[in-house]
Chain A
């Protein structure tokens, strides 16, 4: 079977906390 990567995982990201600190 051809290789399929879970690329969606890489697009799950934390919000910027820059102005919360």
Chain B
């Protein structure tokens, strides 16, 4: 039953067995194509397993079958492939949230757009993102604003 598959999937996730998590996600999707939890698990497991190309393929495939907004995952994969302008495109018209803003700031950093990068970190300071100050300082230093 699908409940048993999710129990097994959950166990693989807890053990960081990402390949197995992908395998079980696929088993769920065979029974229930378009199952949102299974699709998300598959994409996240592929990313956590460093299979960025496969994650992008899965996103492309699933985007045709579901209404899930994969823009953050897609932007992250493109960032990992260093397709930075394409990655930025994913944020257009999307609602801002801390995760998306953080990724955007990392992309802007790589593009050398330090002022825009630092602006986002300033907005994020109210959130509780671990180690945020490390990237904030890197942005400030690179922007020549270390005295801020």
Whether both chains belong to one complex is answered with yes
- The answer for the CA separation of A16 and B103 in the assembled complex, in Å, is 22
Contact B44 A20 (CB under 8 A): no
Contact among B7, B37, B142 for A2, CB-based, below 8 A: B142
Secondary structure at the B interface, as helix, strand, loop or mixed, is helix
Contact A7 B10 (CB under 8 A): no
For residues 1 through 19 of chain A, which have their beta carbon under 8 Å from a beta carbon of chain B?
1-15, 17
Determine whether the beta carbon of A17 is less than 8 Å from that of B9. yes
A12 in contact with B73 (CB, 8 Å): yes
Enumerate B11-39 residues with CB–CB distance to A below 8 Å: 13, 36-37
Q: Are A17 and B37 in contact (CB under 8 A)?
A: yes
A15 neighbours in B (Cβ, 8 Å): 36-37, 40-41
